[in-house]
Chains A and B, each alone.
Chain A
């Protein structure tokens, strides 16, 4: 039995908001009986784009992460709902019955991903429904995926076994696996959002002129164990990514031919940019 999964590549999300706008286009002022009632024009973010800036000028990066109903296989909302108001379809999609769920505000609280939105006017908990109404009508992709110019959002209908292979080959992760809800929404390059980096540039003064040092070897270690090595580019820049936030003290050792080495320590709280390391 093939089921729907959503794959989101954070590396390719540009924050264009086309998925968000397409969701509003589809659901505001439109009701799809059996699937979803109208989405409020404001105040509901069935698809929400989270922003993460890392580092400090002049070396930063910015990631955007679309978050929506994770269509969990072990969804807490299904357990929380009374009256069997929430169903897991055979194809993996979670649907909140717009009639049975009326008045059940507690369903909103059940979602650890904060992806259920309370519609005050209709007294309904609501989610991004994976555009199940369109998929059932023969559409190939939910709208959020079909409007994405970078294919940062792609829906895949495959068996769970096939999906397991894709997860491995493409290094996919779920948000907060510790919740144990088995989401069907997978993320690629999640480190851009939930990990941090140490970066900086290496410079030296030669004959009174300051220059970037290209080709310097930079080693990152913690507790005397080397973790990673990088070589500086034409701007003298180096960067170590995929580090955990608040992961303690690291040592950065810089060496380059013709210069004496330099070693500095950083206490990593969150991403940090070391402006200039002079050799």
Chain B
């Protein structure tokens, strides 16, 4: 029976080939690509059929051709019939591969082409996009800034718009608060960097062809010292791929495991298949590479600090995020935005969704306070009281607030008694009982440059009232001051404040309307952190849910060596580096030390860089520049979309296309992992089929395609691709999600988007922390902490040792009770040496850019460069902006848009001055994450006019026993630029 079925299926495949060739030109074109014979058969050769492809024609016959180029063998006809009979069961196929019931022999390139062609017989007829008439098609896609319609005519992108919902899309939620009814508009919003994408697609800096550095010869002189200086020549894909695959083989054999490192940015272009956590991680695991271990860059203070007091390690130390929008609007009397500028960061992936809701805040009688050295974009929009502490001094402010609360009985004693431990230790420090220094408003005034009367007024306005604390752009911790040198102290002290006010009481919580909307969180679509097609259960959140829903080959990196990213240059140049793990599975996981090199592994000799430039995002960036010019790196390849910043330091450049030029699938703001239920940033959940709206430009290719072509040369393409294309992976992700419950695949890929219906009012998520406040079992829908972290019983209490919020952190007591940088009770210490401050009197804030997204959207001749608060054109060059207080500017004879040199001992950066009252004296403000690096002299040793302010930021970890950047505030001097390229110039203002 099995034999007959198998024979019929094979005969059917022949018919399918012929039929699709008859119907579709694209399929006929595909068939012209290769000339060879494929054989499908049973192991005992009893059943078989061969297919010969020659000049676009197919011939086929039953039986066995002994000289077939590739051979697909099934153990028995029964197995073959079971695996090939539609509907295909992916799990059975995976299991058959694991059990060696299927084998595929022959050259990788032919085998992959054959299996992908078989898959194409199913997909070739699919129809994408909506016909708008007059030759215009409306496609959809997803940017990091939100979902978009793409209007395309004759393979040209005409326009990008947000998505307006149609009558068939579901309704959105309604919130009633204080006699008003709030309802978001029936459309998606978009962040500026999303609106900018047409110029990114058509950027003159797009890489269109593989390029080789002119003085790099893999067979001869490599001239590593010239990286960043010498030019490039165009080479063919074959030549490029042969060099890369050849170097991978050579380096592995010559040096042993670990000699190849993979470096990627923190963000990629959107799409669950193409994201770095998906395709790149599978590639890393397929080849075996030293990982560059990221630090928890947007969460530093919360991960290394706050988690020890209130748990939440699987949220990187941040607060729960459910139900807070409704609670804030209904209950709160005041919102304290503390280093919280959601208008400036668009919630990372949340577009301007939160902006819609913060406009509601303006319509209600809720007081607003902004604590930020910069009168930020959110303060500009919402107004309210502005308190501008000296950068990095915020922990002192928290302590003074606690001092007033204790002095004046303005805290929730019942909550402190029942739900916290260690209060007396905290109280002793705050009141100065242990060190003789009461942390009074007057004490804090001297540290912060605030006025004691204002600190006292804030404390009194806050204590025992219904107040929301918004920390960082997300409001629950992400971003902001947690990234500066006292970020850990700051985050820890804020937890203590919230513990004193009874977090979870109605109106007392963390948030700024950025997270916590009443969308349906029970409808599943995988977040990008769930790893897509990576098969990586170790370094992604795949095991949470996606792995069972989307069976795939597991993948594991056999190289266990890792480099702590903050010390990547030291690792390469000095040969060693140490850091600590970013691992959220428990509070204690962060205590694991990571050392490079790992015993028994090779030092890194080759760097595989993928994605956007990270030069602009890394502290003391000249280190990275020098790293690239080190002879220790024998080979550097960069797989990138743009010839920007870091790309220009590679030996070989592989041109990647944008996500408008390849198919993918995703959901808006679906982050997953450490940012579980990121969709609660949205007013409407929207899943997108990311159409390939135009053909890849030049010879650029998708990351997936580039990886699979390298894998072909390494014999790994079947493992990397599972024999299918990125389009097929997108379909598998669709099938793995809950989307099939609300839309068919064919409708989805045509319309391009689907709005996930909102939750019924009576089924909305409960309020974060309310369960804890009321002493109930945890009832918010997050699968964290892990079951073994509970003490009294599952869902009872929080992750800390006591199960309560701990003013004195038991985990830190166990780890190192005497660590002066991170004692069990948080203490305030100043971050800078007095001599250093005297030499460089300005504290420069370097927050995330508002208009671009990391290095995406900046430079590259994009539209964003025209924005006067991003860059300013002076004599034909677009300079980065540095904001300087008006009095500080006057003292330095600096006027609006003068070219100035921002500098310290590490380097100098030429910027255009923006003279402002939005900063107190002694502070400066310029975004980090510039994409351009434009040294005026020797790279790494001269003034940069691209705008990389991170050249000047401190590389020092916030604490030695951590891996924690503290670089968002640097000490600098600013003076009129003298036009020189050297940077070692004495400061203009002498220390007084």
Interface residues of A (CB under 8 A from B): 11-12, 14-18, 20-22, 24-26, 28-30, 41-42, 45, 49, 51, 53, 55-62, 64, 143, 146-147, 149-151, 203, 209-212, 214, 233-237, 276
Cross-chain contact B457 with A15 (CB below 8 angstroms): no
Known: A16-B343, A18-B192. A30 touches B158 (CB 8 A): yes
User: B192-212: contact bitstring with A at CB < 8 Å (1 yes, 0 no)?
Assistant: 100110110010000000000
> Which of B98-106, B241-249, B384-392, B492-500 lines the interface with chain A?
B384-392
Those of B725-751 within 8 Å (CB) of chain A: none
B162 touches A147 (CB 8 A): yes
B232: CB under 8 A from chain A?
Answer: no
Q: How far is the CA of A78 from the CA of B198 in the complex (A)?
A: 33
Give A49's nearest chain B residue, CB to CB: B868
B2 CB, nearest partner CB in chain A, Å: 58
A20 to B454 CA separation, bound complex (whole angstroms) = 39
Judging by beta carbons under 8 Å apart, are B159 and A30 in contact? Answer: yes
Check A18 against B452 for contact (C-beta < 8 Å): no
Distance (whole angstroms) from the CB of B342 to the closest CB of chain A? 11
Decide: A25 and B160 in contact? CB cutoff 8 A.
Answer: yes
Q: Interface code B911-923, partner A: CB below 8 Å = 1, 0 otherwise? A: 0000011111100
Assuming the contacts A234-B457, A235-B385, asked whether A21 and B196 have C-beta atoms less than 8 A apart, the reply is yes
From the candidates B380, B451, B865, name the one contacting A62 in the complex (CB within 8 A).
B380
Contact between A146 and B161 (Cβ–Cβ < 8 Å)? Answer: yes
How far, in angstroms, from A59 to B196 measured CA to CA in the complex?
34
A62 smallest CB distance to B (angstroms): 5
Shortest CB-to-CB span from B932 to chain A, Å, is 15
**With A42-B873, A58-B387 known to touch, is A143 a contact of B457 (CB < 8 Å)?**
no
The verdict on A28 contacting B164 (CB below 8 Å), with A149-B189, A149-B355 known, is no
| A57/B161 contact (C-beta < 8 A), A17-B867, A18-B192, A45-B866 known | no
Q: Enumerate the 8 nearest inter-chain pairs by beta-carbon distance, A residue then B residue, closest first.
A: A149-B352, A21-B195, A212-B457, A149-B355, A14-B381, A24-B863, A210-B453, A62-B380
The answer to whether B377 has its CB under 8 Å from any CB of chain A is yes
From B359, B375, B886, A12 is in contact (CB under 8 Å) with: B359
* Given contacts A14-B355, A18-B195, A25-B160, A42 and B865 within 8 Å (CB-CB): yes
Bound CA–CA A234/B367 (angstroms) = 10
Interface pair B356/A150, CB less than 8 Å apart: yes
* Beta-carbon nearest neighbor of A210 in chain B: B453
Q: Are B198 and A28 in contact (CB under 8 A)?
A: yes
In the complex formed, the residue of B with least CB distance to A29 is B202
The answer to whether B47 has its CB under 8 Å from any CB of chain A is no
A60, closest chain B residue (CB): B917
- CB-CB under 8 A for A210 and B452, given A149-B352, A234-B460: yes
A4 to B: closest C-beta gap in Å: 19
Q: A151: which B residues are within 8 A, CB to CB?
A: 359
Report the Cα distance A16→B162, complex, angstroms: 15
Query: Which residues of chain A are within 8 angstroms of B865 by Cβ–Cβ distance?
Result: 42
Tell me the nearest residue of chain A to B383, going by C-beta: A61
Let me know if A235 and B866 touch, CB within 8 A.
no
A22 vs B161: C-alpha distance in the bound complex, in angstroms? 8
B453–A203 CB distance below 8 A = yes
A60-B375, A61-B380, A212-B453 known; A150+B863 contact, CB < 8 A: no
Is B190 positioned at the interface, with any CB of A under 8 Å from its CB?
yes
Q: Are A24 and B453 in contact (CB under 8 A)?
A: no
Given contacts A22-B195, A45-B866, A57-B388, 10 further A-B contacts (CB under 8 A): A21-B863, A25-B195, A26-B159, A28-B199, A57-B918, A149-B355, A150-B359, A210-B452, A212-B454, A212-B457
Contact flag A21-B192 (CB < 8 Å), given A149-B355, A210-B452: yes
CA distance A203 to B455 in the complex (A): 13
- Per the bound structure, the CA–CA distance linking A196 and B601 in Å amounts to 67
Q: Which residues of chain A are near B447, meaning CB under 8 Å?
A: none
State the CA gap A103–B83 with chains docked (Å): 71
B159 engages A18 (CB within 8 Å):
no
Nearest CB of B to A59, in Å? 7
B 381-411 binary contact with A (CB < 8 Å = 1; else 0): 1010111100000000000000000000000
Any A CB within 8 A of the CB of B461: yes
Bound together, the chains give a CA A20 to CA B918 distance in angstroms of: 23
B195/A57 in contact, CB under 8 A: no
8 A-B pairs within 8 Å (CB atoms) are namely A17-B851, A17-B869, A18-B195, A21-B864, A41-B861, A42-B873, A149-B351, A235-B458
Evaluate contact between B916 and A53: CB separation under 8 angstroms: yes
Q: In whole angstroms, what is the CA distance A28 to B391 when docked?
A: 41
Flag if B388 contacts A58 (CB, 8 Å). Answer: yes
Q: Verify if B822 is at the interface (C-beta below 8 Å from A).
A: no
Within 8 A of A (CB), among B899-926: 916-921
Chain B residues whose CB sits within 8 angstroms of the CB of A51 once the complex forms: 868-869
Query: Chain B contacts of A143 at CB under 8 A?
Result: 159, 161
Report if A237-B385 is in contact (Cβ < 8 Å); known contacts: A149-B355, A150-B355: yes
Distance of A20 Cα from B921 Cα, bound (Å) = 32
Q: B354's closest neighbor in chain A, by CB? A: A149
Is the beta-carbon distance between B162 and A146 smaller than 8 angstroms?
Answer: yes
Q: Report if B466 contacts A (CB, 8 A).
A: no
In the complex, per-residue mask of B137-163: 1 if CB is within 8 Å of any chain A CB, else 0 = 000000000000000000000111110
Most interface-central of A26, A56, A143, A234 (chain B CB within 10 A): A234
Check A236–B202 contact: CB distance below 8 A: no
- B315 adjacent to chain A (CB < 8 Å): no
* Complex alpha-carbon distance, A24 and B864, angstroms: 10
Is B309 in the interface zone, CB < 8 Å from A? Answer: no
Q: Are B866 and A42 in contact (CB under 8 A)?
A: yes
- Residues on A with C-beta less than 8 A from B352 are 16, 18, 149
A57–B925 CA distance with the chains assembled, in angstroms: 15
- Chain B: minimal CB distance from A203 (Å): 5
In the complex, B227 has a CB within 8 A of chain A: no
Flag whether B456 is at the interface (Cβ < 8 A).
yes
A24-B866, A45-B866, A147-B162 as given contacts; A15 in contact with B377, CB under 8 Å: yes
Q: How far is the CA of A59 from the CA of B451 in the complex (A)?
A: 13
Q: Which of B195, B451, B461, B886 makes the CB contact (< 8 A) with A234?
A: B461
- Return chain A residues, CB-CB under 8 Å to B451: 210, 276
**Chain B contacts for A58, CB-based, 8 A:** 386-388, 920
B493 to chain A, nearest CB (A): 22
C-alpha gap A16/B342 in the complex (Å): 12
Q: How far is the CA of A26 from the CA of B383 in the complex (A)?
A: 33
- State A143–B162 Cα separation when bound (angstroms): 10
